[in-house]
Structure 1
Amino acid sequence: MINSTSMPQISIYDYEKAVTPTDRFADDEITPILLGLFGEVGSVMSSSKKLHREKGAFESGYRRDVEEELGDTLWYAAALCRRLKLTLSELFVEATSGDQFVANITANSDPSAPIARVMTAKGLGPLDNVLLKLGQDSARLLGVKADEKTAKPIMIEFVRAYIQAVQSSGVSFSEVLESNIRKSTGRFLKPSPDCLPDFDAGFLAEEQLPRQFEIEITQRSNGRSYLRWNGVFIGDPLTDNIADPDGYRFHDVFHFANAAILHWSPTFRALIKHKRKSDPRVDEAQDSGRAIVVDEGVSAYIFSEAKALNFFESQNSVSFDLLKAVSNFVRGYEVERCPLNLWETAILQGYEVFRQMRKNNGGIVVGNRDKRTIEYRPLKGA
């Protein structure tokens, strides 16, 4: 289905307009766009393969994965259209004008557009066959040139196969588009501070993460690190807990970065006893042991990736795959409302402080939730 009066609606034109600013490729770069498009189609087909192989074990995640991969596929198709001087919305109109689609005129919920035309692909075969056709049409695009006249018929055929794949997959097309807009804009566009979540602003001060804080981290001769906040030791002394020392004894820095920049860290809340106990539901779902495990798990996972990248030194970005993995990790918790761009900021700033902490065997973490920043300051006399 291209349009549905029972679901929130979004036009292809509005989708194009929303994702255009997230395209960071050069205007004359076509090859990486084609490779990305072909790769995403392959991911859609791979999800179908997993459904066959693992059946019930994968079925619950199938819809989510397919929605994401179909959204990414359309993102690359829109990017390719921009380079071919084609309009994606016009391609959709032409792709559905043939006898492979049936149209129904329906009443629309938008007063300014009372009539909507709902298009449905007819005579669809099994999903596998539809996806094979999508794969074949995406392969034809690999040889496309930056020539509107020759590229347009191939693009129309691809869009037609794409629509059929969406329908056969049984997903909501509007959700495919909306999710992809959230994902791409959240990753590539700097969020407005006014639009960012603040998870404890409505709670009493003793149940909030501190708006500004300084945490002193010192390392003693036994190799253990100690935390002190407002002159009081908090938490347990830490070692690296690994045969090859790597500085993980200072990993609380990442929880402090999350607190300052994301306004989220169940671990930090527990350390300073600032759980939101006045609301039992929030305390149970967001500040409990499971949420703390998620916070610790995210920290450990990112750390394992960062070790192979020299702890992000001299880097000004984090891979999209890493950010997507983190997003999946925190699904179901309040922090999932934070855009990927903000996660990237928290990771990069946190590791900037961590590298200095590791180099100097301690220091002071300075966090500012109002500015969403975290900084390093040396210990006195260091």
Structure 2
Amino acid sequence: MNVDDYQAEAADTMQFDKHDDKALSIVILGLNGEVGGLSTEYKKKMRDGDSYVIFRQKILEELGDIIWYLTSIATIQNISLSEVLEYNLKKIQERWADPRAALTLGLGVEFLDDGYEETEQFPREFVAEFKEGTDKKGKICVDVYVNGNKFGDQIRDNHYEDDYYRYHDLFHFSYVTVFGWSPVVRALMDKKRRSNEKVNEIEDGGRAIVIDEAISALVFEHARNHSFYEGVNTIDEQLLQTIKLLTRHLEINKITPRQWEQAILTGFEAWRRMRKEKVGRVICNLHEKTMFFEKLL
């Protein structure tokens, strides 16, 4: 049965005016009740086991009622049921599709800086080396080198506790590796796209750099409460949607939650190794979207 045909026929069975101010409240409360009914039927199945022979019939009935109320909500809001289903499929495909399969980033290019001169492109392969030591005041710090060149200033934790945030450039490198984005890395590698004034200002400028750093700090605080993602394969949807919200006006607005998840987990895998070893390097390959950690002897 065509879902929009179902929606039209279901609307004819409403026993209230869909334009009434109370209509939406009626169907939402009705939906809540039907979900409770579904839970009740499942409870009976758990209690009675195979002797509850009408379980399938009851589930069929409860699911139908739930669909009716869901459809009614869409009708009241002037949304077609097919639009709801298409939107949901797109959302879950973006969330769970293989991130390596979407090489074009939805933009018709493999990398965001394709078409620019090499001096304005991320190197497609690079090695980032981390060396821990102490500064002139005796504080623990890290020096980072990319392909043998000094990368930014010495980094400290800037925290009351020793939390190893000094290795957080690994997170920026993971964003570069998985989907070719990090205004922080682009600036410190001197790869800003100055040939395009608007791109240089908006995509590679100060505001984008702040967002890049904010994402790193935000995710780090979330990871702190989840064992820094050790043994974790999925990240909370709310966090991923917050990142999408922060970047919705930037060129990476088409990056899927699944790609963000891969980048974050890739970065933290390297970070946990670096925290343990204190020195090491990561070998980054943008074509393969891989970042491998190597211990330095």
TM-score over 0.5 (shorter chain)? yes
Structure 2: which 5+ residue stretches go unaligned?
Answer: 43-54
Shift in Å, 1:224:
1.3
Whether contact under 8 Å (2:30, 2:69) holds in the other structure is no
284 and 97 in structure 1: CA distance in 2 versus 1, 3 angstrom threshold? same
Matches within 5 A, 1:46-85: none
Question: What SS does the aligned partner of 1:245 have?
Answer: coil
Equivalent position to 1:181, from 83, 86, 89: 89
- The question of 1:97 aligning with 2:14 is answered no
In 2, Cα distance between equivalents of 1:198 and 1:178: 28
90 and 155 in structure 1: CA distance in 2 versus 1, 3 angstrom threshold? farther
Measured against aligned partners, the alpha-carbon deviations of 1:194-235 in whole angstroms (never above 9, x if no partner) come to: 443521122111111110001111111231111112332121
180 and 348 in structure 1: CA distance in 2 versus 1, 3 angstrom threshold? same
Whether contact under 8 Å (2:31, 2:66) holds in the other structure is yes
With normalisation by structure 1, the TM-score equals 0.65
Aligned to 2:253: 336
Measured against aligned partners, the alpha-carbon deviations of 1:163-183 in whole angstroms (never above 9, x if no partner) come to: 332243456766544442232
In 2, Cα distance between equivalents of 1:163 and 1:99: 8
With normalisation by structure 2, the TM-score equals 0.82
Aligned to 1:323: 240
Equivalent position to 1:218, from 131, 155, 163: 131
In 1, Cα distance between equivalents of 2:164 and 2:291: 19
Whether contact under 8 Å (1:215, 1:227) holds in the other structure is yes
239 and 173 in structure 1: CA distance in 2 versus 1, 3 angstrom threshold? farther
284 and 178 in structure 1: CA distance in 2 versus 1, 3 angstrom threshold? farther
In 1, Cα distance between equivalents of 2:111 and 2:182: 12
Equivalent position to 2:167, from 236, 242, 250: 250
Shift in Å, 1:294:
0.8
Shift in Å, 1:251:
0.3
Whether contact under 8 Å (1:134, 1:158) holds in the other structure is no
Measured against aligned partners, the alpha-carbon deviations of 1:26-84 in whole angstroms (never above 9, x if no partner) come to: xxxxxxxxxxxxxxxxxxxxxxxxxxxxxxxxxxxxxxxxxxxxxxxxxxxxxxxxxxx
Matches within 5 A, 1:149-298: 149-169=57-77, 176-191=84-99, 192-196=101-105, 197-222=110-135, 223-298=140-215
In 1, Cα distance between equivalents of 2:233 and 2:293: 18
Aligned to 1:37: none
Shift in Å, 1:152:
4.1
173 and 335 in structure 1: CA distance in 2 versus 1, 3 angstrom threshold? farther
Amino acid at match of 1:217: F
Shift in Å, 1:160:
3.3
212 and 133 in structure 1: CA distance in 2 versus 1, 3 angstrom threshold? same
Aligned to 2:266: 349
Question: What SS does the aligned partner of 2:161 have?
Answer: coil
Aligned to 1:123: 17
Measured against aligned partners, the alpha-carbon deviations of 1:297-329 in whole angstroms (never above 9, x if no partner) come to: 111000000011121112222222322222222
Question: What SS does the aligned partner of 1:198 have?
Answer: coil
CA RMSD in angstroms, aligned pairs only: 2.7
Percent identity between the two aligned chains: 29
- The question of 1:367 aligning with 2:284 is answered yes
In 2, Cα distance between equivalents of 1:231 and 1:136: 65
Question: What SS does the aligned partner of 2:154 have?
Answer: strand
In 2, Cα distance between equivalents of 1:130 and 1:185: 29
Structure 1: which 5+ residue stretches go unaligned?
Answer: 1-88, 103-120
Paired positions, count? 274
